[in-house]
A and B are shown apart, each in its own frame.
Chain A
Amino acid sequence: MRTYTRAMKTIGIAVCIALAITASVQGHHSFAAEFDGSKIQTITGNVVEFQWMNPHAYLIVDVTDGAGKTVRWGIQSRNLSILKRQGLSKQTFKPGETITVELFHHHDPAKNVGFARYIQKTDGTKYDVIPGGRGGIVPPNP
């Protein structure tokens, strides 16, 4: 019985972790439906995870706000072929490193979710992840 309970607990934890990971992987929607092309914001924080995958790469970043509270951001980026041509690879961002992201904010101001425009490392390397989409131009899908 004890073994059974322990097994249930382990499965429960595993399911929770799986759900947490799944939740961080956002869907593939229309940019305009999800993000505000005129609301640009810059955040600086520590990389939790760099998800290098189709159809889009994602960055999970922890940002410490003015009150010292850690806020977790989910940042969508482009597809891998675009990022590769802009000089990125799966090794570009390591967990724990500090990055600054200029992003288009989600339509819902309460959500800490954005679509990356520029990503900068502490050594000054700056990646333009919307090539040809500068000047506040809303990038088309995808």
Chain B
Amino acid sequence: MERRFVAIAATAIVVFVVLAPLDAQQPSLPRTADGKPDMNGVFSTAEGGGRREPISFQPWAKEKHDAYVARKLADNPTARCLSPGLISLTTVNFFPIQFVQTRGQMVILYEWDHFFRVIPTDGRKQTDDPDPLQSLGHSVGRWDGDTLVVDVIGFSDYTWIDNNAGVHSDALHVVERFRMIDKDTIEYRAVLEDPKAWTKPWNVVATLKRRPPTDALMEYNCAENNKPDDFPSDDKLLK
């Protein structure tokens, strides 16, 4: 009896110690006027790419993925200056991103080829009709304590969701969690599901670190000086 009590008490202490800080509001964080963690600023991952396991593809997607790999990734959409997709844009280490946070809205600017997202956080629901499909989908955010949770649907299917031929479909559904750990650090977690192309969810974890105050976003213009001849022509691309 006594042993069982000790076990229950120990479990309770572990649960309290491990889980309580996740929900608690951290007093040390900088905050905006509406009390949210102030994420304004320029960030990038230090390591690049974040932590990720391989994607579990359904057979048709695996076949496509393998064919792209066999062609040494020559069909990568970014080689034609097309969208790198949500995960690469966010977790790349050499193109910073900037959070511009206002009441009811988070804007994320990506240095990589001028991409941006406007994420409403004003309580609206996700759209029932994500039309048109977009390379970065349709985002709706909400604050869960100190974590910004973003739901994204309505993706066009041509992007590689990771840089290594991450084939996906237009059924891709992403839930991102941006949690500010301290004034200079945001933990990024994303859970991606694709019932048409994958067999199980794919998880990404990355750490975004604040860049030095002098480090403003610059312009990376992929198309400038690129000539049509420079791109793999359509007939040479794997469909």
Q: Which residues of A contact B (CB under 8 A)?
A: 25-30, 32-33, 53-55, 78-82, 84-85, 107, 131-133, 140-142
**A residues in contact with B226, CB < 8 Å:** 27-28, 55
> Which size bracket describes the interface of B in this complex?
35 or more
Contacts of B72 in A (CB 8 A): 30, 32-33, 107
Q: B interface vs A, CB < 8 Å?
A: 46-49, 71-76, 78-79, 81, 84, 88, 92-95, 111, 163, 215, 218-227, 229-232
Asked if A84 and B218 make an inter-chain contact with CB atoms under 8 angstroms apart, the answer reads yes
Q: List A contacts of B215 (CB < 8 A).
A: 85
Partner of B71, one of A26, A33, A133: A33
Interface contact B221-A82, CB-CB below 8 Å: no
Which of A81, A82, A131 has the most chain B CB atoms closer than 10 A to its own CB? A81
In the complex, what residues of B have CB within 8 A of residue A80's CB? 218, 220
Q: Is the interface of B mostly helix, strand, loop or mixed?
A: loop
**8 Å CB contact of A27 from B76, B220, B231:** B231
Query: Is the beta-carbon distance between A81 and B229 smaller than 8 angstroms?
Result: no
What's the count of A-B pairs with C-beta under 8 Å? 85
Inter-chain contacts of A140 with B (CB < 8 A): 48-49, 88, 92, 163
For the complex of A and B, 8 pairs with smallest distance between CB atoms: A27-B230, A33-B74, A81-B218, A54-B224, A30-B79, A141-B78, A32-B73, A30-B76
A28–B163 CB distance below 8 A: no
A76 to chain B, nearest CB (A): 12
B94/A141 in contact, CB under 8 A: no
